[in-house]
Structure 1
Amino acid sequence: MSRHDASDLAHRLGRQAEAVCRHYLSAGRRQGNYWQVGDARNTPGRSMFVRLKDSPKGLAGKFTDAATGEHGDLLDVIRESCGLVDFTDVVEEARGFLGLPHPEPDPPPRKRATASAPSGSVEAARRLFDMSQPITGTLVQSYLRKRGITDLRGTGNLRFHPRCYYRPDEHSPTETWPAMIAAVTDLAGKITGAHRTWLDPQRGDKAPLDTPRRAMGDLLGHAVRFGAGGEVMAAGEGIETVLSVRQVLPDMPMLAALSAAHLAAVLFPDTLRRLYILRDDDPAGDGARDSLVERANAAGIEAIVISPRLGDFNEDLRTLGLDALRSQTRVQIGPQDVARFMALAA
């Protein structure tokens, strides 16, 4: 199928956007001019929004997942919700829904030696991580150092990919950029997803892209983990936020949930007795904090919120310096954890 044909099919689906959503995203519900659901795989939740009517902001059928930054159209919804791998199967399903006649079949493609994993799947995330390399001496290490993060002990869940695919949208060609690849794991350490931060090799900073961060795979409840969970751990949203606090608490197990919504839903290890919540100073961070405190208390876990002086802890580290971050962290954690986890000033 040509790009024009795919675009026409997506447009036809968009004209029936609400009917498509009710059929393939039945776990969601209508909210004004949007259909709200957890993700394109029809997970219950509220982080993904599908536009139901054309507007100056976009066409009907376009969606954005606020939790992951991913976006697409109703063909992507059909692919993900039905668990389809081949685009021809997606087209067949879409045509069946619309009641369109079947096109003449294309010649069968040559078989690949190794089957490709579905885009955005858990298997695709695992393969991406396996294809990446340790961060020592790479652009990832330079990027983190530029953000004040120099102690990288226990960061085996971070890797570097020199040419990671990036596609702005379904109508644009695929680009390649260097990227920091983070493994998202469950409580047992099994990879369930991956997070990509595309980098600019010239500036040593995030790449100049509309969405330089994207996640893939099964994220809900899982996280990028630094250190094995025990009785005490800390949890925050972003990787850089968590690694910033880890500069002064290098031995405390920590996790980065990758978004406020996922921080609120992170799963607790059975051994956990005290949880430090690394709050971002914004409304989403406040909501995640409140939800996580409530869940932790209900599970019999002591929840202690640690707040930055500025917008987040990486901003504190870069603007105020390591000593200031150490001082403000020391007064917000329990004295027993100061002695156990805090690095002494050089």
Structure 2
Amino acid sequence: MESPARTLSSSLAEHVEAVCKHYLSNGRRCGNYWIVGDVNNNAGRSLYVRLKGPLSGKGARGKWTDGATDQHGDLLDLIREREGLTSFRDTLDEARRFLVAPRETTTESRGRNSGECDTIALARKIWAASQPIIGTKAEAYLRSRKITADLSHAPLRYHPALIYRESRDGLSRRLPALVAAVTDNNDEITGIHRTFFDPARNVKANVESPRRSLGAIRGNGVRFGPIDEFAIIGEGIETVLSLKSAFPN
């Protein structure tokens, strides 16, 4: 027999967009995701909830991740966090209350910018799935470029097996990659830059385009520190990190 929690989670997933509109009203639909600032319903684009997919299992609708905090879960977890509930029973009761409450029937539709919203959400998903750079192949690559700057707080992560797809024949494979977060003036992630590596050596992969970007890049950037009276702008990650190595302060 299926547990009450699993049954409620599936029922909530059937009405995932209504759940988002009720508990995360300051967010908005972007393609196949609901985007909002955090579980406290603050405005922003850090947290994304999947609106499409099966009711359970891999890629299930209702699964959510906060790219800024790495929090994640299903809609029951979301309701618990949003309402500040401390007991499992109270969470189930709140879910039942929502499911029996009358609500408007909504027609799911895509906005004009749904394509860009989809890529932003995917970029945040990749960022959340990547690991800290220290001690990884990505750090080894940068050190091989004579970069000595402290990377512990840099907006850089490492993914050991990121999908790379050739544009000419559409064939894909997984390669290790350096992942850099692209942020806007509010420090919200709008995209990522990816540098793909050779699996056997600490060099860029011998592929058509070893550097690729994803998301909303124009007007934003990979930021290696606060902007005060002036800022140094460079064309590439290695260029800026080389300057930080030469002038750490």
TM-score between both structures, scaled by the size of structure 1 = 0.39
- Tell whether the 8 Å contact from 1:134 to 1:156 is kept in structure 2 after alignment: no
What is the rounded CA distance, in whole Å, between the counterparts of 1:110 and 1:171 in structure 2?
30
Tell me what 1:144 maps to.
Answer: 142
Letter in 1 for 2:196: W
Residues 245, 129 of structure 1: alpha-carbon distance in 2 compared, 3 angstrom cutoff: same
8 Å CA contact 2:54, 2:60 repeated in 1: no
- 1:163 CA drift (Å): 0.5
State the partner residue of 2:40: none
Given residue 222 of structure 2, which amino acid in structure 1 is its aligned partner? V
Alpha-carbon displacement from aligned partner over 1:125-170 (angstroms, at most 9, x marks no partner):
1111111011111001110011011222464300000000111027
2:177 corresponds to which letter in structure 1? A
What is the alpha-carbon distance in structure 2 between the residues aligned to residue 211 and residue 148 of structure 1?
23
User: Is 2:193 the counterpart of 1:195?
Assistant: yes
Please state whether the residue corresponding to 1:128 is helix, strand or coil: helix
Q: How does 1:149-188 map to 2 (within 5 A)?
A: 149-153=147-151, 155-169=153-167, 171-188=169-186
- Out of 113, 118, 122, which is 2:60 matched to? 113
Mapped to 1, the partners of 2:192 and 2:219 lie a distance apart of: 14
Query: Does the residue aligned with 1:202 lie in a helix, a strand or coil?
Result: coil
Unaligned runs of 5+ residues in structure 2 are: 1-29, 33-52, 65-114
1:211 counterpart SS class: coil
CA distance in 1, matches of 2:233, 2:153: 15
Equivalent position of 1:259 in the other structure: none
CA 1:135–1:110: 2 relative to 1, 3 Å: closer
Q: For the aligned residues, what is the CA RMSD?
A: 2.5
Runs of 4+ in 1 over 3 A off after TM superposition: 109-112, 114-120
Matched positions, count: 146
Q: Is the 8 A contact 2:133 2:151 kept in 1?
A: no
Q: Is the 8 A contact 2:163 2:172 kept in 1?
A: yes
1:250 CA drift (Å): 1.6
SS state of the match for residue 208, structure 2?
Answer: coil
Q: Quick one: structure 1 residues 214 and 201, their matched pair in 2 at CA, closer, same or farther if it must change by over 3 Å? A: same
Residue among 121, 127, 130 paired with 1:129? 127
User: Amino acid of the residue matched to residue 144 of structure 2?
Assistant: K
Please give the alpha-carbon distance, in whole angstroms, between the structure 2 residues aligned to 1:167 and 1:156.
Answer: 27
Give distance in 1, aligned partners of 2:63 and 2:234.
33
- Measured at CA, do residues 190 and 197 of structure 1 come closer, stay the same or move farther in structure 2, by a change above 3 Å? same
Q: Tell me, yes or no, if the aligned pair for 1:154 and 1:226 is still in contact at 8 Å.
A: no
AA partner of residue 195 (structure 2): T
Q: Deviations over 1:147-200 (max 9, x none)?
A: 011222464300000000111027433200000000000111110100000011
Question: What displacement does 1:110 show?
Answer: 5.4
Match in the other structure for 2:219: 221
Distance 1:183 1:233, change over 3 A: same
Note if contact 2:54-2:61 (Cα within 8 Å) is conserved in structure 1: no
**Shift of residue 115, structure 1, vs aligned partner:** 7.0
| Contact 2:127/2:192, CA 8 A, preserved across alignment | yes
- Rg comparison, structure with higher value: 1
Deviation of residue 206 (structure 1)?
0.3
Local SS of the residue matching 1:179: strand
Q: Secondary structure at the match of 1:143?
A: helix
Take 1:116 and 1:232, find their aligned partners in 2: how far apart are those partners? 41
Give the structure 1 partner of residue 203 of structure 2: 205
Counterpart code for 2:129: M
1:116–1:209 distance in 2 versus 1, CA, 3 Å: farther
1:1-346 correspondence to structure 2 within 5 Å: 112-114=59-61, 121-153=119-151, 155-169=153-167, 171-251=169-249
Unmatched 5+ stretches in structure 1: 1-82, 86-108, 252-346
2:134 and 2:151 map into 1 onto residues whose CA distance is: 11
Q: Tell me how far 1:203 sits from its aligned partner.
A: 1.9
**TM norm structure 2:** 0.53
Shift of 1:84: 6.3
